[in-house]
Amino acid sequence: MTDTPSRPGAYLLTLNPDHVTPMGQRPLDLSTVARDLEGTAQRLASRARGRVSGDFIKSLRVGRNEPHTLAVVLDAAALDELRKKYGGALHIEPDHDLDMFGAHAGLWPGGMGPDLQGRGPRNFFTQGSSALILEITVKGEDGKPVAFAEVAGRGSAPFSLDNAVTDAKGKAELSFFGDTPTSLRELRVSPSKDFWGRIITRPDLTGFPKRNGKLQVTLTLDRLGAGDGEQDVWGYQAMALPKADSFAPDALAPVKIAIIDSGIAAAHEDLEPAGGRDFTDRGGDETLWREDSIGHGTHVAGTCGAVFNGRGICGAAGPGAALYGLSVFPGGRTSSLIRALDWCVENEIDIANLSLGSAAGTAALQAAVIRATEAGVCLVAAAGNSGAGVMYPAAYAQVIAVAALGAEATFPHDSPHHDQRGAHQSGRYFAAAFTCHGPQIDMAAPGVAVISCVPSETGAAYAAWDGTSMAAPYVAGFAARLLRLRPELRAQAGAARVAALKAALLGCCTDLGLPADFQGRGMPVWRMSPEDSARGASVIDRLEKVSRDLSQELA
């Protein structure tokens, strides 16, 4: 019998700052380590068809400085050799896979995202005559079919589960072993865009006709309403951001916000990204960040910075935000995130939104977080969707960790968002069932039934998703407004500005009465006073005066 070999693993290499170099020896540097690994890279590349040695060693650096990290691919033999050669002089850590903390409302409770983790296995016992087969047509209130909607059903037997996706005619087929038109426990629909999802518990299918042995079932969905004029979605209202729109001077410099995610669908009419960069392994094309095959980054970007154009939704950052799409998905790893953070440093980004993370931190990632913070990049991260402890990088002290909230009457009572009610509720607000929690949480924001942009061939589409991924960009956008409108914040630099901005955010938080581990200080609510507005107006006056004085001097 031939054993199946394991694939090489991905690792991060950094220098151990506590290692003492013996007298007479030259201190180790990562360029030397990279050169030593070239032979290993060539050996591995020769085994992997279509890959070159450069795919196995990546030097991560800021500008033209010496590399601070190596992202490498090593097999067991090379890893063992590396440890023996360098010993304690080198930190060797896993290059963890990154997860996205949010997506559409899953078909089943706990479903997380486009890959539909948590949905049931297909029913393999449906070939007999006792199978109940449903031919389901999903349509809108106008009678038009809804394509690419995920449909699932749960029968009475333990493994009586099935799911499918509607075709261009809005049709999908489900089958259940041993069930009848009155024994199904649940039907769910999760549309890809433009409609609310729907749950039907204990569906009664006795009134539907049968054709070719299949019950002809019709499910009608309600439209989201986004796209019909410009909509103040519930999170925008809850954070009192409409009040901030009354004072949005164009003369102030824009705030630069990086959306580190899966890219931004630049063709969406509600998004006008200022630039970006791709950090995936798709080939280095500098335009790839403008595409978003997953949709996650586009949804996050819309919540944070959708433009004010009279259509769609309002972005939390308001007018004057410059969005940059930094794509680390698909295939995101810690090394991808580190490269994106370094880009933020090099390009003087003000705020970076990280709706992603991993269950484990690394010394290399923490060092990248510290570099970015010291350079003045305010990092806002989603806490995670596992319902357990806060994930990384949100768990780092330098990062603003955001938990997810929901609110009553913000989604249809029969939609899948209903499943996201957690055990903690105060007034109309509840902590989302999925949100990670712990003492690292700084604040909470809307993260259930969040309507935002998704990619579409038509140029504009919207979907309601759940996740801490959806909550973080509300905070990032809120922070951008503060930074733009408060001169004393813009006047500072580096880590001092990040600390001042975080303090200002915390000062805006309202205690919702939820446990501190689930809400931190509370939810940011806009409270800019008339005095603040007058102060901002005086800044514009001073800017205009400086401009006039310069014009006179040049004349």
- The pLDDT assigned to 158 comes to 64
**Residue 127 pLDDT more than 70?**
no
Active site annotation includes 46: no
In CATH terms, the fold of domain 126-221 is: Immunoglobulin-like (2.60.40)
Angle of CA points 490, 442, 463, to nearest 5°: 90
Q: Nearest CA to 294 among 147, 200, 192? A: 192
pLDDT band at 69 (very low <50, low <70, confident <90, very high): very high
**Residue 76 pLDDT more than 90?**
no
39-43, 312-316, 325-329, 406-410: segment of lowest average pLDDT? 39-43
As a whole number of angstroms, the longest Cα–Cα distance in the chain is 92
Query: Average of pLDDT values for 268-275?
Result: 95
Query: Average of pLDDT values for 2-19?
Result: 77
- The pLDDT assigned to 105 comes to 55
- The pLDDT assigned to 320 comes to 85
Each residue's pLDDT tens digit, 224-266: 876 566 677 899 999 999 887 655 555 577 899 999 999 999 9
343: number of Cβ within 10 Å:
20
Query: Average of pLDDT values for 1-18?
Result: 75
Catalytic residue among 99, 162, 261, 466: 261
| Four-point Cα dihedral 104, 190, 310, 524, nearest 10 | -40
**Residue 549 pLDDT more than 80?**
no
- The pLDDT assigned to 124 comes to 45
312-316, 322-326, 395-399, 503-507: segment of lowest average pLDDT? 312-316
Task: Indicate the DSSP class of residue 363.
Answer: H
In 16-125, beta strands by DSSP E: 57-60, 69-74, 90-94, 99-100, 103-104
**Residue 464 pLDDT more than 60?**
yes
Peptide bond into 524 cis (omega under 30): no
Q: Which tops the pLDDT comparison, 89 or 108?
A: 89
Mean pLDDT value across the chain:
86
- The pLDDT assigned to 112 comes to 36
Task: List the domain boundaries for the chain.
Answer: 9-95, 126-221, 230-537
- The pLDDT assigned to 207 comes to 82
- The pLDDT assigned to 251 comes to 58
The architecture (CATH level 2) of 230-537 comes to: 3-Layer(aba) Sandwich (3.40)
Contact criterion met (CB below 8 Å) for 490 and 410: no
Angle between the N-to-C axes of helices 334-346 and 363-374, in degrees from 0 to 180, rounded to the nearest 10 = 20
Angle between the N-to-C axes of helices 468-485 and 296-305, in degrees from 0 to 180, rounded to the nearest 10 = 30
In 86-185, beta strands by DSSP E: 90-94, 99-100, 103-104, 131-140, 150-154, 161-165, 171-177
* CA 401 remoteness from chain centre: 13
**pLDDT > 90: percent of the chain:** 61
Active site annotation includes 296: yes
Query: Average of pLDDT values for 119-137?
Result: 62
Q: Which tops the pLDDT comparison, 552 or 390?
A: 390
In sequence order, the 6+-apart residues with CB closer than 8 A to the CB of 310 are: 229, 230
Using the Cα atoms of residue 161, residue 162, residue 163 and residue 168 in order, give the sign of their dihedral. Answer: negative
Query: Average of pLDDT values for 524-548?
Result: 53
Active site annotation includes 469: yes
Q: Which tops the pLDDT comparison, 541 or 89?
A: 89
**Residue 284 pLDDT more than 70?**
no
pLDDT band at 555 (very low <50, low <70, confident <90, very high): very low
Catalytic residue among 68, 91, 268, 296: 296
Each residue's pLDDT tens digit, 151-190: 999 887 666 789 999 999 999 999 987 788 888 889 999 9
